[in-house]
Structure formats: structure tokens, C-alpha cells
Amino acid sequence: MTLTTFALIRHGQTDWNAQRRLQGSTDIPLNDVGRGQARDAVATLSAYEWDAVVSSPLSRAAETADLIAAGLGLSVAKRVPELTERHFGPAEGLQGGPELEALRTPDGFRGAESDDDAATRGLGALEALAEEFRGRRVLVVAHGTLIRLSLGRAISRTLQSIDNAALNLVHHHPVDGWQLEYLNGEPLTAAAIS
């Protein structure tokens, strides 16, 4: 059976990231820091050969993918709607505090997509890409919560966070499943997962 390798990259920074606001599916663009992070990611990603670049259709992920692809001499093959960030409902745009806490539920936020639903959607998208690009190397630009939940489900571990424009390298084998090699640009260690 054939191994498919994925780089799962969270988009670069946006103003809402800098302000620590929940973005979710709200389409907030990259800021200049985020554009720089996308360009800087090319140095790490150029250590590998990539067969395809795909992304979420939200502008912050799409622009990050476009910048990375251009830096690698590639183009973006497709935008995958299922890679859109988790929908946080009325919590989108809020910062930490009483208003946000009032919306919190055991599985996220009232009126939002659940952790379970987001993980199912995201992992389903990655498994479809693994089938479509079997045996190849695919660079996927998406969103922090979606990557964290989907990847956590894939490897049966709880992941704490996904950094902007950092390398998360994971391999998919049709029989053996998923194996995480790098998380947030660091080789996987027991301390990286809980």
C-alpha cells in the first residue's frame, strides 16, 4: 500500500488572531504579519517536494496557500469547502471574557458547530484527499481549530494548538492509518501531545 504525505499548514496571522478574537467561518483576511509568515514558511516547506497544494476557500487560507505555492513554484490545485474553519456561531468575533463564557458549552459554544462535527468534516476531507492524491505529497492550508480537531481524531490524541504557518507533517497509509511526524514545526515528542 502507498503512503501519502500531508503538510497541514494553518493560515498566516490575521488582525483577529492578533486581537485574540474567535474567527471561525468569518472571512477575515491576512494581515502583513500573516503574509510574512506565509512567505517564511516556504523555506521549511522547500525541503520537501510537493505534488499538489490545496486550501480552504476562506481568504486567509487561500492567500496563504497562494503565497506558499508561488514561493515553491507551484499553483493551488483546488479549494476544498470542507476545509473551512469550524463555525463558532454567535461566539465569532468575540474575545475572551464574560460574553464569550456565557456562550460556552461542553462541546464548544452555543449555536456553533460541535468539536465532533468539525473533526468528522475535516478528517473526511483529508481522507478524500488521501484517496485522490494517493502516494503523493500534498500541502494543505486550512485553519487552526479544524486542523487540531481533525488531526487529533486521526491519531487519537488531544492536541493543544496549531501555530500560524507552522509545519504539521502527517502520513496516511490506507491500512495503518495516520502517523504524525511534525507538530508546529517540531519533531513529534511525547510532550507535544497530551
Eight-state DSSP code of residue 83: G
Strand, helix or coil for residue 186? strand
92 is catalytic: no
Phi, psi for 108 (deg, rounded to 5)? 130, -115
Handedness of CA 110, 96, 16, 86 (dihedral sign): negative
Catalytic one among 85, 87, 92, 113? 85
Residue 11 a catalytic site member: yes
Q: Given the C-alpha cell 471574557, which residue does it identify?
A: 97
Q: Where are the beta strands (DSSP E) in 32-75?
A: 52-55
Instruction: Calculate the alpha carbon distances from 1 to 70, 104, 131, 179 in Å.
Output: 32, 43, 12, 15
Q: Which of 11, 87, 143, 172 is catalytic?
A: 11
Question: Using CA atoms, how far apart are residues 109 and 57, in angstroms rounded to an integer?
Answer: 23
The maximal CA–CA distance of the chain, rounded, in angstroms, is 51
CA–CA distance, 127 with 80 (Å, rounded to integer): 12
Catalytic residues: 11, 85
